[in-house]
């Protein structure tokens, strides 16, 4: 195995290990209020 | 020299793939800006496609690839495509019509100034943008392209490796973007109000189209339809995927959530970084280059934010730093097992290649920075670079083009 392959394997291992330890919790966000009524918009050419 | 129909078909198809990247860039950038500036941002890319297409056939190709003058610039012998016909040119592509090579290179010249437009998005006056782009293509892009790719160019003679444009396209545009952001100054409200991308889906679509087009960019640069093009195709896809995975993981660690836009930006960083190396490295080298791109480009964005530079769409971090990493990594991981006409890198017993790559990186950084600064100052003598405050607040779609993007 050459040096390039060793570094490539280590790189992949770092990324994979990251996924195991990183959080997977929901973040609460403010609900976006969307008005049912929309005003017509006139666009002049 | 005999024209090979397979090679010709591949290069023409690749030219079309690379052409698609410029409007794709418009969508990538367009989704990242606010709704009042999306049309003007897309227009930057679309307009440059038209502008440089004409500039390239009139004088750009001759300056970049024409008969060498002092190892610095091409001569004017090929102006207006004079002497650029259908007979292959042995220096550049001996199995395809010379005009096929010319039009393939045209698409590189088109996308490079379009990349810079992300730095001054949401505030540059359109007329200033037009003048800047034309001058930049002529006095920055064309000379650097000649140094690296032109027959007789000094970096070409030195042995610098740049398969598809790490220095010519990405360092030049990324460094110029940084200079442009500094010269134009920050957008109104920068750092005080949050500027959210107005359409993340548009950006993802743009990133996917860029990825698709990049196969022409890199694999097409083999200018033959064979094993080298195949290798470039494979390593391009591999590095891109690895960079997207890495960026997403780093941002997940940093911001506590896996960002979708981060994955898209990471993919673009990977595409940038593998560009100079795509004809010289194997698939393991591509994985390392993709990993490195995800880390260093993400870190560059954090640095850019910390020093409060308003490079609006992070052109410097992704293209300048990504291109620099890719050019350096080419000097580390290049191997003649992939491309026998090139050279080995440090990891294959040739440390000198790293020094050559550093010389090319330094030259591209220096010329792009100085050239861009001078051009912006010259343009500013005739046309103000920035729109007025009220125009910026109104948005460039209305103030510069008189058209809204959406009628909602």
> pLDDT tens for residues B259-309?
999 999 999 999 999 999 999 999 999 999 999 999 999 999 999 999 999
Determine whether the interchain pair B282/A4 forms a contact, defined as Cβ–Cβ distance below 8 Å: yes
- pLDDT value at residue A1: 82
Residues of A in contact with B347 (CB under 8 A): 2-4
**A-B contacts at Cβ under 8 angstroms:** 49
- pLDDT value at residue B264: 97
For the cut 80, the answer to whether the pLDDT of residue A41 exceeds it is no
For the cut 60, the answer to whether the pLDDT of residue A45 exceeds it is no
Determine whether the interchain pair A18/B288 forms a contact, defined as Cβ–Cβ distance below 8 Å: no
Please state the ipTM of this predicted complex.
0.86
Quick check: B347 contacting A, CB < 8 Å? yes
Quick check: B284 contacting A, CB < 8 Å? yes
- pLDDT value at residue B191: 84
Quick check: A12 contacting B, CB < 8 Å? yes
Low-confidence ranges of chain B (pLDDT < 50): none
Q: Which DSSP symbol is given to B317?
A: I
Best B196, B234, B251, B257 residue to mutate vs chain A (most A CBs within 10 Å): B257
The C-alpha torsion from B115 through B297 and B292 to B344, rounded to 10°, is: 40
- Provide the shortest C-alpha distance from residue A30 to chain B (in Å): 15
Of B245, B252, B347, the CB nearest to A4: B347
Q: Is B73 helix (H, G, I), strand (E, B) or coil?
A: strand
Which run of H or E residues covers position B69?
strand B68-69
Distance CA B400, CA B40 (A): 8
Quick check: B333 contacting A, CB < 8 Å? yes
Determine whether the interchain pair B288/A14 forms a contact, defined as Cβ–Cβ distance below 8 Å: no
Of A8, A14, A18, the CB nearest to B284: A8
Residue B42 to residues B170, B198, B291, Cα–Cα distance (Å): 20, 13, 30
| DSSP H helices in B164-226 | 172-184, 200-219
For the cut 60, the answer to whether the pLDDT of residue A36 exceeds it is no
Best A2, A5, A7, A38 residue to mutate vs chain B (most B CBs within 10 Å): A7
Residues of A in contact with B258 (CB under 8 A): 22
Taking alpha carbons only, the member of B395, B385, B399 closest to residue B120 is B385
Of B253, B257, B285, the CB nearest to A18: B253
CATH architecture designation of domain B5-401: Orthogonal Bundle (1.10)
Distance CA B238, CA B196 (A): 30
Structure confidence at residue A26 as a pLDDT band (50, 70, 90): low
């Amino acid at each position: 195995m050459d040096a390039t392959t060793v570094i490539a394997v280590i790189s992949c291992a770092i990324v994979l290990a990251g996924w195991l330890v990183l959080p997977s919790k929901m973040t609460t966000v403010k609900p976006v209020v969307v008005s049912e009524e929309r005003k017509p918009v006139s666009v002049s050419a | 020299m005999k024209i090979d129909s397979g090679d010709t078909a591949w290069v023409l198809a690749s030219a079309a793939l690379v052409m698609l990247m410029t409007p794709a860039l418009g969508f990538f950038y367009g989704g990242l800006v606010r709704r009042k500036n999306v049309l003007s941002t897309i227009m930057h890319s679309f307009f440059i496609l038209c502008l440089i297409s004409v500039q390239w056939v009139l004088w750009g190709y001759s300056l970049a690839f024409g008969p060498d003058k002092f190892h610095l610039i091409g001569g004017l012998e090929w102006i207006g495509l004079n002497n650029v016909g259908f007979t292959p040119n042995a220096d550049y592509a001996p199995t395809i019509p010379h005009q096929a090579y010319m039009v393939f290179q045209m698409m590189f010249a088109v996308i490079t100034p379009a990349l810079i437009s992300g730095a001054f998005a949401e505030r540059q006056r359109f007329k200033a943008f037009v003048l800047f782009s034309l001058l930049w293509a002529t006095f920055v892009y064309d000379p650097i392209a000649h140094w690296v790719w032109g027959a007789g160019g000094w970096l070409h003679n030195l042995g610098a490796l740049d398969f598809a444009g790490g220095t010519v396209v990405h360092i030049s545009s990324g460094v110029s973007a940084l200079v442009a952001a500094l010269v134009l100054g920050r957008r109104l409200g920068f750092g005080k109000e949050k500027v959210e991308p107005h359409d993340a889906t548009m950006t993802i679509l743009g990133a996917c189209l860029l990825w698709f087009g990049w196969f022409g960019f890199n694999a097409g640069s083999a200018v033959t339809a064979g094993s080298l093009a195949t290798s470039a195709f494979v390593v391009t896809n591999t590095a891109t995927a690895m960079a997207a995975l890495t960026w997403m993981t780093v941002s997940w660690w940093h911001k506590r959530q896996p960002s979708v836009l981060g994955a898209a930006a990471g993919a673009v960083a990977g595409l940038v970084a593998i560009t100079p190396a795509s004809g010289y490295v194997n698939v393991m080298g591509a994985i390392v280059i993709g990993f490195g791109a995800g880390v260093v480009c993400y870190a560059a964005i954090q640095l850019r934010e910390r020093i409060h530079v308003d490079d609006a769409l992070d052109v410097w971090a992704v293209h300048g730093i990504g291109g620099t990493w890719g050019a350096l990594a080419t000097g580390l991981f290049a191997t003649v097992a992939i491309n026998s006409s090139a050279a080995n890198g440090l990891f294959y017993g040739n440390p000198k290649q790293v020094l050559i790559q550093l010389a090319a990186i330094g030259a591209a950084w220096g010329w792009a920075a100085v050239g861009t600064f001078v051009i912006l100052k010259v343009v500013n003598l005739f046309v103000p670079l920035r729109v007025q405050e009220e125009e910026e607040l109104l948005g460039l779609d209305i103030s510069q083009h008189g058209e809204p993007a959406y009628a909602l």
